[in-house]
């Protein structure tokens, strides 16, 4: 297959598009087993203490089926707080005792014939609290900051080279503190679970990024063998990390369904998305950059404090980009945690990189001004050919070309670097830039492929489509590997009955599942050829396997004989099928990372502080694109979220009660169409086959990275005000 004929890469429309636009695609909450009952979670309204519940009035309501509290909760195999420790590492709230750890923690579940009855009954539960002192102030908790055991993929602390010598050799230093806010994911589809027991077998329809992870969590939590549990989720309405692990409500739905002896549906309300299902932690980041006069970095430090829950450690790896972004002979990074009485924070789109790039890209801009140097030139002066903290060379990196391409399209050469120098009437114009980056990883994955009697091929893997395009790109990969037209291949996902796939998080689905699909389809193609040449009824009977090709759905022998797959399949007594497994090379001596260059224009009204972003121009080096259309859409969506992080998003914690005062989409601000103007996304061609046989690195998360830094840098250029605290709201501009 040469590249002209390749289906991979083409900007094809989503295969699931019509299903979604017609409302046929079924999301987790849209499964209705017969005799379905409805569950509503009751949450704590205090941040710490003990709880006592009186459910008598609720239980007396007609239509109420069952109420779960710590008084009647079944004793779970690993009982007690912290003992339930599923693979994703979540400490669940399953009413094994009367302790309250945060405001919003589940303390009861009501099951009723209808959602309305369950909601009303939930409001009739009387709750008394013996409150205990709670840790709710990040500032106060900082004095007891501690080092976590681990980051997601690294040690919390790392140093390389001689930092003291590097500082000594520097002519210029910048040393500032940058802060980012708590955020909550809020995909359009909230968390939802339908739990259905048939005897000792459990089927769960769950809004998740990880069907097999949910299965394992439920297995360990409930003490039910994995083979007895099936988890299904064909469509996910956005995930962004909050659906990467199974939270309490999933196990609670299974528990109450078992107790009620009825299938149960539990859907989180929008306001319940603020607390019990993760969020991005608050960070405080000190960045020190030291450089020679010519801009060469000689030392860097990045010290991060982020919050976690009293229940469990989750560390936001904001130092991750600093370890990998710029060539610097010496560096030291540290990560510390403070414990608060809030729900456990978790991965949120580009965890670590999103918050970390804000700090380090702001600091680079500050350094550029100190040096009187162009910010692009400063980045090129410190361009890293290998990962600075490990010395590992990158498998492929074309960031230089990204800076050049995006700068040219933006018109960066026309920038007057002096802050406040560019105006349009009374509006101040600011141009800023930043680097985007996110690592590439792979995990083991499996897929199957089967020739059906109608001559089409069904490919399956227990992976997920979060709205990203998985259905479409896997169909493209399969069609290419088989030699079949795109329309004659169907790809299915989202079911633990299918071959196992990893969590769809960390931008790893294309890079992990893609090669497994490719393997399965290559193996099937070989079996198809062998079946034809062994089949007396085929025109290809007794041809040499090496002489037979499968092209566009037809088997063609070198001597010109041919047979369509449909004809071959119609004579099959049993389906021809194959499995494919793929896994990364464990002993990798290289680093794989994606990069991008972002250029942003802001316009600020100096009197009101109103800030607009009329245009963003970005270019990325992300490996080979599987589908040019869905890829662009991923990057644009990521940039929109970056603008949201830069300008709007903040979960406001009331430090008296531990409640989020803006826990709804009316007051938790996200951009609307009027906030988003031109976003120009481009790519520098790449084919990173040293990372993965498809040459793809994954694109789900890099889009959000660097954006907030670029906006902050543009704001400084416009106004001369350096805003080191996200979001950049107008009060900070007129202060
Ligand atoms: Mo992503 S935050 O790893 O789903």
In a domain, 668, yes or no: yes
Instruction: Give the residue-averaged pLDDT of 23-42.
Output: 97
In a domain, 509, yes or no: yes
Q: 239 in ligand 1 pocket by Cβ < 6 Å? A: yes
- pLDDT of 166 higher than 60: yes
Rounded CA-CA distance 162/560 in Å is 69
Rounded CA-CA distance 252/304 in Å is 35
Distance 321 CA to ligand 1 centre (A): 16
The verdict on 635 and 551 lying in the same domain is no
Q: 213 in ligand 1 pocket by Cβ < 6 Å? A: no
Q: Which of 207, 236, 238, 244 to mutate to test the pocket of ligand 1 (most atoms within 8 A of CB)?
A: 244
The verdict on 668 and 572 lying in the same domain is no
Q: Which distant-in-sequence residues (6+ apart) come within 8 Å of 444 by Cβ? A: 502, 512, 581, 582, 583, 584
**C-alpha Rg value of the chain to the nearest Å:** 27
The verdict on 708 and 728 lying in the same domain is yes
pLDDT band at residue 726 using 50, 70 and 90 as cut-offs: very high
Q: Where are the strands (E) in 542-610, listed by range?
A: 548-551, 554-557, 562-564, 576-582, 593-604
The label of the residue with tokens 């979960």 reads 651
Q: At what angle do helices 211-222 and 248-260 cross, to 10 degrees?
A: 60
The verdict on 437 and 363 lying in the same domain is yes
The label of the residue with tokens 């101040």 reads 428
Quick one: pLDDT at residue 83?
44
The verdict on 451 and 548 lying in the same domain is yes
In a domain, 725, yes or no: yes
| Number of the ligand 1 atom closest to the C-alpha atom of 700 | 1
| Number of the ligand 1 atom closest to the C-alpha atom of 504 | 4
Q: 348 in ligand 1 pocket by Cβ < 6 Å? A: yes
| Number of the ligand 1 atom closest to the C-alpha atom of 349 | 2
- pLDDT of 414 higher than 90: yes
Q: Which of 186, 506, 698, 704 to mutate to test the pocket of ligand 1 (most atoms within 8 A of CB)?
A: 506
- pLDDT of 696 higher than 50: yes
State the distance between the two ends of the chain, measured CA to CA, in whole angstroms.
62
The pair of three-digit structure tokens given for residue 538, joined into one six-digit string: 């085929």
Distance 611 CA to ligand 1 centre (A): 29
Q: 280 in ligand 1 pocket by Cβ < 6 Å? A: no
Beta carbons of 328 and 298 less than 8 angstroms apart? yes
Q: 698 in ligand 1 pocket by Cβ < 6 Å? A: no
| Number of the ligand 1 atom closest to the C-alpha atom of 242 | 4
Question: Is 701 an active-site residue?
Answer: yes
The verdict on 253 and 119 lying in the same domain is yes
Helix (H, G, I), strand (E, B) or coil at 79: coil
The verdict on 636 and 575 lying in the same domain is no
- Final residue of a domain: which of 556, 582, 608? 582
In a domain, 166, yes or no: no
The verdict on 246 and 97 lying in the same domain is yes
Quick one: pLDDT at residue 366?
98
Beta carbons of 688 and 594 less than 8 angstroms apart? no
Instruction: Give the residue-averaged pLDDT of 428-443.
Output: 97
| Number of the ligand 1 atom closest to the C-alpha atom of 466 | 4
Distance 89 CA to ligand 1 centre (A): 15
pLDDT, greater one: 390 or 523: 523
Distance 624 CA to ligand 1 centre (A): 21
Quick one: pLDDT at residue 153?
80
- Final residue of a domain: which of 530, 565, 582? 582
pLDDT band at residue 89 using 50, 70 and 90 as cut-offs: low
The verdict on 464 and 561 lying in the same domain is yes
Q: Of the residues 312, 316, 519, 701, which is catalytic?
A: 701
Distance 662 CA to ligand 1 centre (A): 24
Closest to 299 in 3D by CA, of 308, 288, 307: 288
Instruction: Give the residue-averaged pLDDT of 148-153.
Output: 86
Instruction: Give the residue-averaged pLDDT of 506-522.
Output: 97
Quick one: pLDDT at residue 82?
46
CATH code of residue 61: 3.30.365.10
The verdict on 447 and 435 lying in the same domain is no
- pLDDT of 216 higher than 70: yes
Beta carbons of 125 and 118 less than 8 angstroms apart? no
Q: pLDDT by residue (tens digit) across 96-142? A: 999 999 999 999 999 999 999 999 999 999 999 999 999 999 999 99
Instruction: Give the residue-averaged pLDDT of 646-672.
Output: 97
Closest to 194 in 3D by CA, of 90, 38, 68: 38
Q: 187 in ligand 1 pocket by Cβ < 6 Å? A: no
Quick one: pLDDT at residue 574?
87
Beta carbons of 470 and 493 less than 8 angstroms apart? yes
Q: 276 in ligand 1 pocket by Cβ < 6 Å? A: no
pLDDT, the chain, mean:
95
Beta carbons of 582 and 445 less than 8 angstroms apart? yes
The verdict on 555 and 451 lying in the same domain is yes
Quick one: pLDDT at residue 444?
97
In a domain, 303, yes or no: no
Quick one: pLDDT at residue 393?
95
Handedness of CA 347, 349, 355, 361 (dihedral sign): positive
Range 664-671 contact pairs with CB under 8 angstroms and sequence separation of 24 or more: 664/270, 664/271, 664/274, 665/186, 665/270, 668/184, 668/186, 668/274, 669/644, 670/186, 670/644, 671/640, 671/643, 671/644, 671/647
Distance 628 CA to ligand 1 centre (A): 22
Q: pLDDT by residue (tens digit) across 241-265? A: 999 999 999 999 999 999 999 999 9
Q: Range of 408's domain?
A: 352-441+590-734
- Final residue of a domain: which of 563, 582, 601? 582
Q: Which of 187, 237, 241, 638 to mutate to test the pocket of ligand 1 (most atoms within 8 A of CB)?
A: 241
Q: Which residue owns the Cα nearest ligand 1 atom 4?
A: 241
Distance 701 CA to ligand 1 centre (A): 7
Q: 241 in ligand 1 pocket by Cβ < 6 Å? A: yes
In a domain, 321, yes or no: no
Q: pLDDT by residue (tens digit) across 664-692? A: 999 999 999 999 999 999 999 999 999 99
Distance 503 CA to ligand 1 centre (A): 9
Q: Domain tally for the chain?
A: 3
The verdict on 600 and 710 lying in the same domain is yes
Rounded CA-CA distance 479/473 in Å is 10
Q: 238 in ligand 1 pocket by Cβ < 6 Å? A: no
Q: Which of 187, 240, 463, 641 to mutate to test the pocket of ligand 1 (most atoms within 8 A of CB)?
A: 240
Distance 71 CA to ligand 1 centre (A): 36
In a domain, 181, yes or no: no
Quick one: pLDDT at residue 1?
39
| Number of the ligand 1 atom closest to the C-alpha atom of 240 | 4
In a domain, 635, yes or no: yes
Helix (H, G, I), strand (E, B) or coil at 577: strand
DSSP secondary structure letters along 2-41: -GGG--TB--PPPTTHHHHHTT-SPBGGG---TT-EEEEE
Rounded CA-CA distance 720/735 in Å is 13
Distance 243 CA to ligand 1 centre (A): 8
Rounded CA-CA distance 638/633 in Å is 8
Quick one: pLDDT at residue 70?
97
Q: pLDDT by residue (tens digit) across 53-85? A: 999 999 999 999 999 999 999 999 876 444 455
DSSP secondary structure letters along 524-556: HHHHHHHHHHT-TTSTTTT--GGGEEEETTEEE
- pLDDT of 91 higher than 90: no
Rounded CA-CA distance 629/229 in Å is 36
| Number of the ligand 1 atom closest to the C-alpha atom of 244 | 4
Q: 240 in ligand 1 pocket by Cβ < 6 Å? A: yes
Q: 210 in ligand 1 pocket by Cβ < 6 Å? A: no
């Amino acid at each position: 297959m040469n590249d002209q004929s390749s289906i991979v890469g083409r900007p094809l429309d989503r295969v699931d598009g019509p299903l979604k636009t017609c409302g046929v695609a079924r999301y987790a909450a849209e499964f209705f087993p017969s005799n379905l009952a409805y569950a509503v979670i009751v949450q704590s309204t205090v941040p710490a203490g003990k709880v006592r519940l009186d459910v008598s009035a609720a239980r007396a309501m007609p239509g109420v089926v069952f109420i779960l509290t710590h008084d009647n909760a079944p004793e779970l195999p690993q009982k007690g707080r912290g003992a339930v420790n599923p693979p994703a590492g979540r400490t669940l709230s399953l009413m094994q005792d009367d302790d309250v750890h945060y405001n919003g923690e589940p303390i009861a579940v009501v099951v009723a014939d209808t959602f309305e009855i369950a909601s009303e009954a939930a409001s009739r539960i009387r709750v008394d609290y013996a409150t205990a002192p709670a840790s709710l102030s990040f500032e106060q908790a900082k004095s007891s900051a501690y080092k976590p055991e681990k980051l997601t993929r690294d040690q919390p602390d790392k140093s390389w080279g001689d930092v003291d010598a590097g500082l000594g050799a520097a002519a210029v230093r910048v040393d500032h503190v940058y802060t980012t806010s708590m955020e909550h994911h809020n995909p359009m589809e909230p968390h939802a679970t339908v739990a259905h027991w048939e005897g000792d077998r459990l089927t769960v329809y769950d809004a998740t990024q990880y069907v097999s992870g949910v299965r394992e969590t439920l297995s360990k939590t409930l003490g039910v063998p994995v083979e007895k549990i099936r988890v299904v989720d064909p469509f996910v309405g956005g995930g962004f990390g909050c659906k990467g692990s199974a939270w309490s409500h999933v196990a609670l739905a299974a528990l109450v369904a078992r107790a009620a002896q009825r299938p149960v549906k539990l859907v989180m309300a929008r306001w319940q998305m603020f607390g019990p299902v993760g969020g991005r932690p608050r960070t405080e980041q000190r960045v020190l950059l030291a450089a020679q006069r010519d801009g060469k970095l000689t030392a860097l430090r990045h010290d991060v404090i982020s919050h976690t829950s009293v229940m469990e450690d989750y560390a936001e790896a904001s130092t991750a980009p600093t370890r990998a972004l710029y060539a610097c002979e010496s560096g030291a990074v540290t990560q510390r945690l403070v414990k608060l009485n809030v729900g456990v924070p978790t991965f949120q789109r580009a965890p670590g990189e999103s918050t970390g790039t804000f700090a380090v890209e702001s600091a680079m801009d500050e350094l550029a001004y100190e040096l009187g140097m162009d910010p692009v030139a400063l980045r090129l002066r410190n361009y890293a050919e290998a990962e600075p903290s490990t010395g590992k060379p990158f498998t492929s990196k074309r960031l230089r070309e990204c800076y050049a391409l995006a700068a040219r399209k933006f018109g960066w050469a026309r920038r007057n670097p002096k802050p406040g120098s560019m105006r349009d009437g009374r509006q101040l114009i600011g141009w800023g830039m930043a680097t985007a980056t996110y690592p590439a990883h792979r995990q083991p994955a499996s897929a199957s492929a089967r020739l059906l009697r109608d001559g089409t091929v069904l490919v399956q893997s227990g992976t997920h489509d979060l709205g990203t395009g998985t259905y479409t790109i896997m169909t493209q990969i399969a069609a290419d590997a088989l030699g079949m037209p795109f329309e004659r291949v169907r790809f299915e996902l989202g079911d633990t009955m299918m071959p196992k796939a990893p969590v769809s998080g960390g931008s790893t689905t294309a890079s992990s599942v893609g090669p497994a699909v490719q393997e399965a389809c290559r193996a099937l193609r070989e079996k198809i050829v062998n079946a034809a040449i062994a089949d007396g009824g085929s025109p290809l009977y007794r041809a040499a396997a090496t002489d037979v090709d499968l092209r566009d759905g037809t088997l063609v022998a070198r001597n010109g004989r041919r047979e369509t797959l449909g004809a071959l399949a119609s004579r099959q007594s049993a389906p021809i099928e194959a499995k494919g497994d793929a896994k990364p090379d464990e002993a990798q001596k290289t680093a794989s990372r994606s990069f991008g260059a972002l250029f942003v224009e802001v316009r600020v009204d100096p009197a009101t502080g109103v800030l607009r972003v009329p245009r963003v121009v970005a270019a990325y080096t992300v490996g080979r694109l599987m589908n040019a259309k869905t890829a662009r859409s991923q990057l644009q969506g990521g940039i929109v979220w970056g603008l949201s992080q830069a300008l709007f998003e903040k979960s406001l914690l009331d430090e008296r009660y531990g409640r989020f005062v803006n826990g709804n989409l009316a007051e938790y601000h996200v951009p609307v169409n009027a906030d988003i103007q031109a976003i120009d996304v481009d790519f520098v061609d790449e084919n990173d086959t040293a990372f993965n046989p498809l040459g793809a690195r994954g694109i789900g998360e890099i889009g959000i990275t660097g954006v907030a830094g670029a906006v902050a840098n543009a704001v400084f250029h416009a106004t001369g005000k350096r805003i080191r605290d996200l979001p950049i709201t107008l009060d900070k501009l007129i202060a």
